[in-house]
């Protein structure tokens, strides 16, 4: 409840926090796997695995989510405006969840297709539930895909760890991601990828209307793709504040990576604040409550800098 109140108190676009340190089922993989339709999961020593029937691990994950949604409904009474929720994307999920016989879902193209379709159905139900609980919200749905660059590069390890799974072709990656994104309508879909080598074209052509990334992992060779995405109307959620720490840079320093990127891309400074959102680099799950509150406030202050003086 404290995390929810912080999100609603500090931000013009609050969100439903994820707190993975609570244990099994509160983690990104388990929280999303619990939403799968007709694909129950359980925890094994190696991680989450598909199973034949629902068990206590799945129940625990659903209980976490249900309590969080109850809290969201309470804190958001009367709220109208943008609200962000998030879930793991299909490719990162496929690279983390194992099949019943032990290999990763990612190793079986048919299983990946089934997983994407199940996730699409489950997320559509989740989005509908949030809409009922917060009727004044304009939903933004974030799909976390930190594993997607590795999927495309063929660097995801097998379940044994001794090999690497075959690379997935970009058109296939786009198709599975699009299956999930299409199910989110009319919510505003964004994809978060904090790994190097964000596949901007795959995300954009799959239907993502926003891309969230860590600016410290951007490479100069990525900027052409970023420019194409911006020209296509894709919003940028730029991670500019460290996710943990004790001291924060001032708002001008926080805003600087966004203003410099915009200048290098050659876009009009006056458009910067309309298409860029400043965020923590990769979540605040490891931060203290005090630091999390300060980091969110600093993001908000830096965003005002962009709007007030975009040429600086």
pLDDT tens digits, 54-63? 999 999 999 9
Categorize the per-residue pLDDT at 102 as very low, low, confident or very high, splitting at 50, 70 and 90: confident
Backbone angles phi, psi at 38, to 5 degrees: 60, 25
CA distances from 104 to 61, 88, 94, 148 (A): 20, 16, 7, 15
pLDDT surpassing 90 at residue 246: no
What local confidence, expressed as pLDDT, does residue 283 receive? 87
In CATH terms, 2-17+77-308 corresponds, of 3.20.20.210, 3.40.50.300, 3.30.1490.20, 3.30.465.10, to 3.20.20.210
pLDDT surpassing 50 at residue 53: yes
What local confidence, expressed as pLDDT, does residue 310 receive? 46
- Pairwise CA distance, residues 301 & 164, whole Å: 44
What local confidence, expressed as pLDDT, does residue 265 receive? 93
What local confidence, expressed as pLDDT, does residue 307 receive? 82
Backbone angles phi, psi at 311, to 5 degrees: -85, -15
Express each pLDDT in 30-42 by its tens digit.
999 999 999 999 9
Q: State the pairing for strand pair 210-214/188-192.
A: parallel
Is the N-terminal amide bond of 12 cis, ω within 30° of 0? no
Express each pLDDT in 129-160 by its tens digit.
999 999 999 999 999 999 999 999 999 999 88
Categorize the per-residue pLDDT at 284 as very low, low, confident or very high, splitting at 50, 70 and 90: very high
Please state the rounded mean pLDDT for residues 86-95: 98
pLDDT surpassing 50 at residue 312: no
Q: Could you tell me if 213 and 239 are in contact, meaning their C-beta atoms sit under 8 angstroms apart?
A: yes
Find the radius of gyration of the CA atoms of the chain: 19
What local confidence, expressed as pLDDT, does residue 143 receive? 98
Categorize the per-residue pLDDT at 309 as very low, low, confident or very high, splitting at 50, 70 and 90: low
Categorize the per-residue pLDDT at 210 as very low, low, confident or very high, splitting at 50, 70 and 90: very high
pLDDT over 70, % of the chain:
99
pTM given for the model: 0.95
Express each pLDDT in 218-241 by its tens digit.
888 899 999 999 999 999 999 999
Categorize the per-residue pLDDT at 121 as very low, low, confident or very high, splitting at 50, 70 and 90: very high
Residue of 176, 173, 165, 160 whose CA lies nearest to 200: 173
pLDDT surpassing 80 at residue 311: no
Q: What is the DSSP string of 277-289?
A: EEEESS-STTS-H
Express each pLDDT in 172-190 by its tens digit.
999 999 999 999 999 999 9
pLDDT surpassing 90 at residue 282: no
């Amino acid at each position: 409840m404290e995390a929810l109140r912080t999100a609603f108190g500090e931000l013009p676009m609050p969100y439903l926090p994820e707190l993975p340190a609570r244990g099994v089922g509160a983690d990104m993989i388990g929280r999303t796997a619990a939403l799968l339709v007709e694909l129950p999961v359980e925890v094994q020593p190696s991680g989450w695995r598909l199973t034949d029937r629902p068990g206590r691990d799945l129940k625990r994950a659903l209980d976490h989510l249900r309590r969080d949604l109850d809290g969201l409904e309470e804190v958001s009474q009367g709220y109208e405006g943008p609200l962000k929720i998030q879930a793991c994307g299909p490719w990162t999920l496929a690279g983390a969840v194992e099949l019943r016989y032990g290999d990763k879902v990612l190793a079986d193209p048919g299983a990946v297709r089934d997983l994407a379709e199940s996730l699409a159905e489950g997320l559509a139900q989740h989005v509908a539930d949030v809409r009922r609980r917060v009727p004044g919200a304009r939903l933004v749905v974030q799909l976390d895909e930190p594993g997607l660059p590795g999927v495309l590069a063929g660097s995801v390890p097998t379940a044994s760890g001794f090999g690497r799974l075959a690379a997935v072709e970009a058109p296939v990656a786009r198709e599975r991601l699009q299956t999930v994104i299409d199910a989110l309508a009319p919510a505003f879909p964004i994809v978060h990828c904090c790994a190097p080598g964000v596949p901007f074209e795959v995300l954009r052509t799959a239907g993502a209307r926003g891309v969230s990334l860590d600016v410290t992992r951007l490479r100069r060779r990525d900027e052409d793709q970023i420019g194409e995405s911006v020209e296509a109307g894709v919003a940028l959620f730029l991670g500019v504040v460290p996710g943990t720490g004790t001291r924060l840079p001032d708002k001008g320093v926080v805003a600087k990576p966004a203003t410099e990127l915009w200048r290098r891309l050659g876009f009009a400074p006056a458009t910067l604040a309309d298409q860029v959102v400043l965020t923590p680099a990769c979540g605040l799950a490891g931060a203290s409550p005090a630091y999390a509150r300060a980091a969110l406030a600093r993001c908000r202050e830096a965003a005002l800098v962009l709007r007030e003086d975009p040429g600086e």
